[in-house]
Amino acid sequence: TALVELRARFDEAANIQWARRLEESGAHVVYGVVGLKTHCKALLIVRRDTDRLRHYVHLGTGNYHPRTARSYTDFSLLTTNPKITEEVAVVFNTLTGLASYPGGEKLLVAPFDLSKRLIGFIERERDHARAGKGGRMIVKLNSLVDQEIIEKLYEASCAGVKIDLIVRGICCLRPKVPGLSENIRVVSIVGRFLEHSRIYYFENAGGPVVYLASADWMPRNFLRRVELAFPLEDPALRDEVIHQVLPRFVNDHVKARELQADGTYVRLRAPEGETPTQAQLHFREGSRRQARKLAESQKGDGIKLSPITIARKEHS
């Protein structure tokens, strides 16, 4: 079964063609939900392994599209976590009309509970700060427009929560306003690749929570689209995002511009004497190093053919 959203910006004709080809190949094609645009990116595979039936799930922040895969920056997760795979199956059943959405524990799903649960996370950081436990948030988005979310961010800032927002496009929040948002910093990164990933990080008084998502914080994402935010629960992956990925974006001094209280942007420069850091360049070079290391490790792994030898009998 394939769910194909036909309302794809500038790509409607291609999606119709792919849907027809899938149907001709025997796939059951569903064309989304009436009144909602399906914007989440999910893949569910049910496979009979040697030991049992197993569910594999791939969730991403970007489309399954060869062209955007080469020019956008995105993150994805491949997992067999039973709770996550079970909830993804529930989402697919909801989208194909087999069942209503009952809610879930792991996934945040729009238009059902994404906005409400995000507000709960922001309020929890606010309450931690008021209790003297500190509060910290880093959020990476394409756009920040939703008024209720913005007001909750202002509340958290007034309570002392330190907030870094990495918003590539539209940002209706005003940072650095005394008595309102002096604890909020907003940067926009525009580089060689289009920043498309969405990351939500909440410090949670030492019990960090990280979500990757398809959704920006806009009314259309919360109310008029089907969106998914999924947690990173593996400690190694979660720590990599918290300590290696997000700091690179926050501390970019080459392609970043910082939003001021008056609505203008100022291009950031590295402090005198320090080497400028660029997030996209860092990740690109890291990927190249990994590719070279993999290629070198496979150099001596070619298949060696051995001729078949037959013992000959000696004749006296």
pLDDT digits (tens, 9 = 90+) for 145-183: 999 999 999 999 999 999 999 999 999 999 999 999 999
Q: Identify the CATH number of the domain in which residue 274 sits.
A: 3.30.870.10
**What pLDDT, on a 0 to 100 scale, did the predictor assign at position 17?**
87
Residue from 28, 39, 58, 196 carrying the catalytic annotation: 39
Based on the fold, state whether residues 79 and 143 are members of the same structural domain.
no
Tokens 């918003």 locate to: 167
Number of domains the chain is built from: 2
Given a contact cutoff of 8 angstroms between Cβ atoms, the answer to whether 201 and 209 are in contact is: yes
Query: Does residue 308 lie in a domain region?
Result: no
Query: Does residue 299 lie in a domain region?
Result: no
For residue 68 the two structure tokens come to 């955007």
**What pLDDT, on a 0 to 100 scale, did the predictor assign at position 190?**
95
Query: Does residue 316 lie in a domain region?
Result: no
Based on the fold, state whether residues 133 and 52 are members of the same structural domain.
no
Task: For residue 162, list its beta bridge partners.
Answer: 136
Q: How far apart are CA 95 and CA 38, in angstroms?
A: 9
Range of the domain at 40: 2-95
Based on the fold, state whether residues 116 and 238 are members of the same structural domain.
yes
pLDDT class of 305 with cuts at 50, 70, 90: low
Given a contact cutoff of 8 angstroms between Cβ atoms, the answer to whether 246 and 266 are in contact is: no
What's the DSSP call for residue 156?
A: H
Based on the fold, state whether residues 217 and 158 are members of the same structural domain.
yes
Task: For residue 110, list its beta bridge partners.
Answer: 227
Based on the fold, state whether residues 29 and 135 are members of the same structural domain.
no
Q: Model's pTM, two decimal places?
A: 0.89
**What pLDDT, on a 0 to 100 scale, did the predictor assign at position 302?**
60
Based on the fold, state whether residues 56 and 183 are members of the same structural domain.
no
For residue 8, pLDDT beyond 90 = no
**What pLDDT, on a 0 to 100 scale, did the predictor assign at position 244?**
95
* Minimum mean pLDDT range among 4-18, 91-105, 156-170, 271-285: 4-18
Annotated catalytic residue 128: no
* Minimum mean pLDDT range among 81-90, 163-172, 287-296: 287-296
Single residue among 36, 63, 95 that ends a domain in this structure: 95
